[in-house]
Amino acid sequence: MKLLRRLGSFLLIAAVLAAGQAVGDATPDRNHQLRPFAVAGDFGTDVVGRDFAVRAAAVRCAAQLKIGDEILETQGVWIVVKLRLSARTEPVRIRYAAVRDASGRIYETTDRFEQYLVSGGRNIQPGLPIEGEVAIEVPAASAGDLTLLVASTYVDHRVDSMAEIPLPVSDVSGVLANPAPTEVLAPRAAS
């Protein structure tokens, strides 16, 4: 009888520990709980985040960028995206733009030249949208299936909105076969 009681106690403790482990495994980790809120939208339409709206109006590929008198080359391909940005209720700065490929790899805007549209250098006022282009360098093999990511925070995106827009990239092989420099449009008032 004593043996059965001990065995029963042991089985009860083992069951409680197993149940606790199952609950712990089912609960998302802290990083998953605090991840950014994805606000998905379509190319060419406004995607509205917490404090900004963004529209990816055009996308093109380039083998070279012309920035002033300088030509920037890449071993991959440049993805140049025309954006229209607007603040919702208060002035805002867009500090983050990147693309995510089909494998989940993230490529941020290049720091090889200053990109005032998304580097936090341009205050966007409510009711006064701006437009311009950003350039992101990606491997040519990753350029076919890309999603644009835009946020008003630079490093800490936790528990904030992040716009996600699929990009229709199709001219990669043609651009690589016939490289010609392209310019990146500077930010300006949207028309």
How far apart are the C-alpha atoms of 120 and 117, rounded to whole Å? 7
How far apart are the C-alpha atoms of 2 and 4, rounded to whole Å? 5
Integer CA distances (angstroms), 81 to 115, 140, 146, 164, in order: 12, 16, 11, 13
Query: How far does Cα 16 stand from its chain's mean position?
Result: 42
Point out the residues of the chain with pLDDT beneath 70: 1, 24, 26-36, 120, 156-159
Asked if residues 165 and 54 have their Cβ atoms less than 8 Å apart, the reply is yes
How far apart are the C-alpha atoms of 70 and 120, rounded to whole Å? 23
How far apart are the C-alpha atoms of 166 and 28, rounded to whole Å? 26
Asked if residues 51 and 39 have their Cβ atoms less than 8 Å apart, the reply is no
In the chain, the largest separation of any two C-alpha atoms, in whole Å, equals 91
Backbone angles phi, psi at 148, to 5 degrees: -75, 135
- Give the model's pLDDT for residue 28: 66
- Give the model's pLDDT for residue 173: 74
Tokens coding 55: 């529209």
What amino acid occupies position 88?
R
Q: The whole model's pTM is what?
A: 0.80
Asked whether the CA dihedral 144, 137, 48, 188 is positive or negative, the reply is negative
- Give the model's pLDDT for residue 19: 75
Q: What is the pLDDT of residues 129-179, one digit of tens each?
A: 999 999 999 998 888 889 999 998 777 666 577 899 999 987 777 777 778
Tokens coding 48: 């509205």
**Under CATH, which architecture does the 36-185 domain have?**
Sandwich (2.60)
What amino acid occupies position 176?
L
- Give the model's pLDDT for residue 140: 87
